[in-house]
Amino acid sequence: MLKKYQIAKVIQSYKTSKSQENKPLNTIKIEKDLAKNSDHLKNVLGKSTDVKFREIEVNYETPINVFICFLDGLVNEDYINLYMIKPLLEPNFTSTHSVSEDFLTVVEKQILSTSSIQEVRSIDEVIESVLSGETAVFIDGYDSALTVSTEGFEARSVEQPDTESSVRGPREGFNEVLKVNTALIRRKINNPNLVFESMKIGKQTKTNIRIGYINGIANPKIIDEVKQRLKRINTDMILESGYIEQCKL
């Protein structure tokens, strides 16, 4: 009986650890304690050497601890150094920004000069943004973080595709960067009704894909059917369009 009890206890312990391991990250909320947020991120991303953490101390009304997290190789580090870290460490920070305002608001609206910035409240959202080339900014005493658009990875230039040579007309082909490809389409179809909708496919790779169509011309039923079929794809990874072609939808 004792042996059976011990075996049952081991099985229960294993199930508990697995359930905690598979716990969705979006249930982990950002806390006001900066150290706890740092630990959450490092537990998930810290084992990878290309994940960079930078801790700084900002002199506001009182010294405030801030840390940023980004993925080396996917960001423009010069931008981060010049337009994020340097302004926060300026000696005359308090003389150029009102100390009576909420510090998070000051950072969001006066310090970070970027075209895209978002306030998020879960670790899951932060990780998803960091893996997409954005930089996360955590401030001690706040239960939300800022994700800043800092993408700047190297990419192959737009050039004529080897497999589809063209004698006449443009000699531009898609490359591996999604936003470059959508921009190429935008240049050719100057129509405000051109719509791109984003999805993620692949349980492990979480590959970004975009569905493009012209609203008012494309059949809405067909668009919905395409979306439903893509959502039914149950696979670990999607590395290129051929993976989707082979799926039985």
Q: Which residues contact 238 (CB under 8 A, 6 or more apart)?
A: 201, 202, 205, 207, 209, 244
DSSP 7: H
Pair 92, 103: CB distance under 8 Å: no
Distance CA 234, CA 243 (A): 11
**pTM (whole model) above 0.85:** no
Instruction: Tell me the per-residue pLDDT of 218-239, one tens digit each, with 9 for 90 and over.
Output: 999 999 999 999 998 888 888 8
Strands 134-139 and 117-120: unpaired
Q: How confident is the model at residue 92 (pLDDT cuts 50, 70, 90)?
A: low
The whole-number average pLDDT for the span 236-245 is 80
pLDDT tens readout for residues 108-135: 888 887 778 999 999 999 988 988 889 9
